[in-house]
C-alpha cells in the first residue's frame, strides 16, 4: 500500500460520526490500512493495573480509522484535500494540494 498519509500529518475526517474534525496522525497501521488520530475516535478499553494506574480500570484510547476516511489537511485551503505527488529538482517527493497546488510538505 502506498499511503499519502504519514505520522505527524494533520488530517480531516471526511465521513462517519467524526466527519469534519481535524487531528494529527499518531500512527499509521499499514496492515489494517488505517490510522490513529490524536484525541479522535476514542474508544474505552479496560486496562490491567499498572504502576501509574494501580486499580486498573478504563482508559480511553484512539481507535483506528480507515485511511480512506481521512484527507490530508491543506494549510492553505484549511480543509482536507486530495493530493498528488511531485518530484522536486533535488529528487525529493512532495505532496501537492490538488485544489490550490500548494506544497503540503515543506522542508
Ligand atoms: Zn490547498
Is 21 part of any domain? yes
**pTM for this entry:** 0.82
pLDDT at residue 76 in the model? 95
Give the burial string for 10-47 (b: 16+ CB within 10 Å, else e).
bbbbeeeebeebbbebeebeeeeebbbbeebbeeeeee
Q: Which domain holds residue 23?
A: 10-80
**What CATH number has the domain bearing residue 47?**
2.30.30.30
Is 60 part of any domain? yes
Residues of the chain where predicted confidence (pLDDT) is lower than 50 = 1-2, 107
User: For the chain, how many structural domains are there in total?
Assistant: 1
For the record, the C-alpha cell of 94 comes out as 512532495
The cell 517527493 sits on which residue?
93
Ligand 1 centroid to residue 23 C-alpha, Å: 17
pLDDT at residue 80 in the model? 95
Three-class SS state of 31: helix
Ligand 1 centroid to residue 17 C-alpha, Å: 24
Burial of 106 (0-12, 13-18, 19+ CB in 10 A): exposed
Is 93 part of any domain? no
Ligand 1 centroid to residue 33 C-alpha, Å: 24
Is 101 part of any domain? no
Is 57 part of any domain? yes
Is 70 part of any domain? yes
Is 91 part of any domain? no
Which residues have a beta carbon within 5 Å of ligand 1, which is an ion? 74, 76-77, 97, 99-100, 102
Integer Cα distance of 70 and 5 in angstroms:
9
pLDDT at residue 106 in the model? 67
Is 107 part of any domain? no
Amino acid at each position: 500500500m502506498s499511503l499519502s498519509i504519514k505520522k505527524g500529518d494533520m488530517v480531516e475526517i471526511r465521513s462517519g460520526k467524526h466527519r469534519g474534525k481535524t487531528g494529527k496522525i499518531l500512527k499509521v497501521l499499514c496492515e489494517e490500512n488505517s490510522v490513529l488520530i490524536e484525541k479522535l475516535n476514542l474508544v474505552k478499553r479496560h486496562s490491567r493495573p499498572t504502576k501509574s494506574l494501580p486499580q486498573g480500570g478504563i482508559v480511553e484510547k484512539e481507535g483506528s480509522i480507515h485511511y480512506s476516511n481521512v484527507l490530508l489537511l491543506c494549510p492553505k485551503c484549511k480543509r482536507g484535500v486530495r493530493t498528488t505527488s511531485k518530484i522536486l529538482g533535488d529528487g525529493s517527493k512532495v505532496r501537492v494540494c490538488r485544489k490550490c497546488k500548494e506544497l503540503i510538505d515543506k522542508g
